[in-house]
Amino acid sequence: MTTASDNATRAGYFGPYGGQYVPETLMAALEQLSAEYDKAMGDPGFRGDLDRCYREIAGRPSELYFCRRLTEALGGAKIYLKREDMNHTGAHKINNTLGQALLTLRMGKKRVIAETGAGQHGVATAMAAAVFGLDCDVYMGTEDIRRQSLNVFRMRLMGARVIGVSSGQCTLKDALNEAMRDWMGSVEHTHYIIGTVAGPHPFPAMVREFQSCIGREARKQMLSAEGRLPDLIVACVGGGSNAAGIFAPMIADASVRMIGVEAGGRSLNLGDHAASLSLGRPGVLHGSLSYILQDADGQTADVHSVSAGLDYPGVGPELAYWKDIGRVGYTTCGDDEAIDAVVTLSRAEGIIPALESAHAVAEAIKQAPKMKKGQILLVNLSGRGDKDCNEIASILERKGVKI
Amino acid sequence: MNDLKTNRLVQAFAELRAAGKKTLVPFLTAGYPDLAGTRAMLEDFEARGVRVAELGIPFSDPIADGPVIQSSYTEVLASGQRTDQVLEMVREYREGGGKLGLAAMVSYSIVFRHGVQRFLDQCSQAGVDAVLIPDLPLNEAGEVEKLARSRGLANVMLIAPTTQPPRRLEIARHSTGFVYYVSIAGITGERDRLSEATLAAVAELRTHVDLPICVGFGVSNPATVAEVCRVADGAIVGSAIVHRIQQHKDLPPAELAARIGAFVSELLAPVL
């Protein structure tokens, strides 16, 4: 076994997790990317460009919103939402694609590829490619193409090619495999914009950094609205990018409790959920060592979630590290609870959350009444639910719920 | 420390070199179409003059593999076969007198889950001669390198066209058994011919490296085998063989082995 002490001090590791478990063909590109990223982060010009992109393209800062009616209805902690759903293209994913698109230009590459589950990362990549004049191919499982058809259209409208992937379960993991295979053959002129804090080093640290604008803004906004930091932050976790983005800037603030919510799916039996941190164990998938869902032989397990963006058998290595050191707690939310949370938030606040984000909302609805009045609960509302409306409508109809 | 000199794969390459010969390294998906078929093919290949073969252990997410090998893996896993049964088949092949040098190509996902030490123990006890872990690059390979050697197992490492020259030599220094030169930046699959640049790169590597060099990815017919063997010690053929197995997978093991063996004989012709 590779032990924590073996890996703890190595670059690209978070405790024992992380690393670069990829074919040799990709190593040169990862080295080039690491070097360019390090250079860019030390370059005030790059940071200035990125800040301007955040402001002018993404529409940042995103608002911090107090849920008055939901708070009153639950009778506990004050509930705030970090409104990543109000970003251009409808989710937090844009924070990362803008950063990586700028790096692509710096590396002189002309083409970007991406994997997408819910389609939000694909849309954000297609948008960035359109803004900067890059060719763009997005890999997407055919099952996700079915349940996220609006996002497929949006990508195509912005000039991206959407390539259907019909291997495995035809979802996010399979799209990631196919994007990796593309990159193996195109690495000289193509940058692969991984959409989450998973994958080989430097992706986990780099994507977390690009997403940290969420937590940095939220920290400042919380201090100005309440004069103090939240008591609890809740975020949904698929690969973990929105959670890492809101957690990281407050991870050193010991008074702030944090909960990541994974997809509990249909049941907690292997194959029915996507709760890698809650129910998986350390393993290697897609370039890094982290918690994953697999069988005793090391074959990746089937996963399920009503939310295409959480439907993934792995998770970012830094989130695994936060679990082991006890800094972040992880729990699950089932498909049905997520759907209920969509309805609740829509009616209480006029905000339709993405199915992914609804997992965090559901946990907030459970936690708030257990907290004291005057305590503060911050939810990362990572995306909006427009893309899910057809899917939600058909689920509610099947359940016999009249809207 | 266990000595690699008694390793079957190392010996096979030493004997070939002493005889001034090059070789073909056929790749089989372990258990495709079934384990009896794989074993029959290994025995048939050996009778035709093959010395070393590569055995691909099916994995659910093989990102370095093209559609042919991928779909064979998917089919084998769907049948319920797992790595333990592959190693059991190797054990039986050895008990039956099988003498090929066998390199097991296996994802680090599987190795890690079994436990590195335990997995390498199982391999060496079953009669595997080398491991080849395509998703374990030099930077992460230290532990496997050390533990494999102490069990008398070779650890075959890969060099890609994108690998910078100083790193190529470092990989070759750490590799044992042979070093695998990946002919193209991309995934496995059949290609009609290899580029001059590939052959030149292997020839250049040859001048610095004494370890046997085998070239794989895209080597698919007798002509490419001959081309590769002008500069390398061996040519690895995978997708072209697995593709033919796919076409004849409903035949009984002996007939399948004869059919695939005939193709392997064609591939061997330039180097026998």
Q: What is the pLDDT of residues A311-350, one digit of tens each?
A: 999 999 999 999 999 999 999 999 999 999 999 999 999 9
In a domain, B147, yes or no: yes
CA–CA separation, A190 and A99 (whole Å): 16
Average pLDDT over residues A8-23: 89
In which band, very low, low, confident or very high, does the pLDDT at B2 lie, cut at 50, 70 and 90?
low
Q: Which of B221, B211, B145, B213 is nearest to B182 (CA)?
A: B213
The tokens describing B184, both together, are: 């193209």
CA–CA separation, B138 and B160 (whole Å): 12
Provide the greatest CA pair distance for chain A.
57
Which residues of chain A are at the B interface, by a Cβ-Cβ cutoff of 8 Å? Answer: 1-2, 6, 19-29, 167-168, 173, 177, 180-181, 184-185, 187-188, 282-287, 289, 294-300
The tokens describing A71, both together, are: 């708070």
Question: Tokens 């295409």, residue?
Answer: A308
In a domain, B240, yes or no: yes
Give the chain A residue whose CA is nearest to the CA of B137: A24
In which band, very low, low, confident or very high, does the pLDDT at A250 lie, cut at 50, 70 and 90?
very high
In a domain, A4, yes or no: no
pLDDT at B191: 78
Q: Give ipTM to 2 decimals.
A: 0.96
The reply to whether B137 touches chain A by the CB within 8 Å rule is: yes
Which of the listed residues A202, A235, A270 is the one where a domain comes to its end? A202
For B13-72, the pLDDT digits (tens) are 999 999 999 999 999 999 999 999 999 999 999 999 999 999 999 999 999 999 999 999
Q: Which of A138, A45, A57 is nearest to A98 (CA)?
A: A57
pLDDT at A403: 81
For B221-231, the pLDDT digits (tens) are 999 999 999 99
Domain, as residue range, for A241 = 58-90+208-398
Q: Edge to edge, what strands does the sheet with A257-265 contain?
A: A64-66, A78-83, A376-381, A232-236, A257-265, A329-334
pLDDT at A7: 54
DSSP state of A114: E
Position A195 pLDDT exceeds 80: yes
Residues A252 and A263 both lie in one domain: yes
Position B251 pLDDT exceeds 70: yes
Residues A78 and A152 both lie in one domain: no
Residues A72 and A142 both lie in one domain: no
In a domain, B180, yes or no: no
Domain, as residue range, for B20 = 4-155+234-264
Residues A144 and A265 both lie in one domain: no
Cβ contact A93:A195 at 8 Å: yes
Q: Which of A7, A24, A303 to mutate to test the interface with B (most CBs of B within 10 A)?
A: A24
Q: Which of B99, B91, B175, B162 is nearest to B132 (CA)?
A: B175
Backbone φ and ψ for A42, nearest 5 degrees, come out as: -90, 5
In a domain, B200, yes or no: no
CA–CA separation, B120 and A3 (whole Å): 17
- Which amino acid, residue A297? D
pLDDT at A231: 98
CA–CA separation, A112 and A336 (whole Å): 36
User: In DSSP terms, which residues pair with A353 in a beta bridge?
Assistant: A384
For A52-92, the pLDDT digits (tens) are 999 999 999 999 999 999 999 999 999 999 999 999 999 99
Position A10 pLDDT exceeds 80: no
Residues A33 and A146 both lie in one domain: yes
Q: Which of A68, A75, A123 is nearest to A383 (CA)?
A: A123
CA–CA separation, A371 and A368 (whole Å): 5
For A148-162, the pLDDT digits (tens) are 899 999 999 999 999
Q: What is the mean pLDDT of chain B?
A: 96
Cβ contact A80:A379 at 8 Å: yes
Q: What is the CATH number of the domain that holds B98?
A: 3.20.20.70
In a domain, B224, yes or no: no
How deeply is A287 buried, as exposed, middle or buried, from its count of CB atoms within 10 A (0-12, 13-18, 19+)? buried
Q: What is the CATH number of the domain that holds A376?
A: 3.40.50.1100
Residues A248 and A343 both lie in one domain: yes
Cβ contact A385:A148 at 8 Å: no
**How many domains are contained in chain B?**
1
CB contact under 8 A, B112 and A283: yes
CA–CA separation, A338 and A304 (whole Å): 14
Residues A315 and A384 both lie in one domain: yes
The reported pTM is 0.96
pLDDT at A9: 57
In a domain, B39, yes or no: yes
Residues A44 and A86 both lie in one domain: no
CA–CA separation, A99 and A207 (whole Å): 8
CB contact under 8 A, A298 and B110: yes
When CB atoms are compared, the residue of A2, A184, A299 closest to B64 is A184
In a domain, A14, yes or no: no
Which of the listed residues A202, A232, A265 is the one where a domain comes to its end? A202
Cβ contact B131:B156 at 8 Å: yes
In which band, very low, low, confident or very high, does the pLDDT at A142 lie, cut at 50, 70 and 90?
very high
For B101-156, the pLDDT digits (tens) are 999 999 999 999 999 999 999 999 999 999 999 999 999 999 999 999 999 999 99
Residues A311 and A270 both lie in one domain: yes
Residues A278 and A228 both lie in one domain: yes
In a domain, A2, yes or no: no
The reply to whether B36 touches chain A by the CB within 8 Å rule is: no
Residues A97 and A179 both lie in one domain: yes
The reply to whether B161 touches chain A by the CB within 8 Å rule is: yes
**How many domains are contained in chain A?**
2
Question: Tokens 């109809």, residue?
Answer: A397
CB contact under 8 A, A2 and B112: yes
DSSP state of A56: I
Position A4 pLDDT exceeds 60: no
DSSP per residue, B153-212:
-EEEEEE-TTS-HHHHHHHHHH--S-EEEESSSS-S-B-S---HHHHHHHHHHHHH--S-
Which of the listed residues A169, A202, A235 is the one where a domain comes to its end? A202
Residues A33 and A170 both lie in one domain: yes
The tokens describing A240, both together, are: 């973990």
CA–CA separation, A163 and A177 (whole Å): 13
Contacts of A25 in chain B (CB under 8 A): 64, 160-162, 182, 185-186
In which band, very low, low, confident or very high, does the pLDDT at A3 lie, cut at 50, 70 and 90?
very low
CB contact under 8 A, A283 and B74: no
In a domain, B98, yes or no: yes
Three-class SS state of A288: strand
Average pLDDT over residues B92-107: 98
In which band, very low, low, confident or very high, does the pLDDT at A5 lie, cut at 50, 70 and 90?
very low
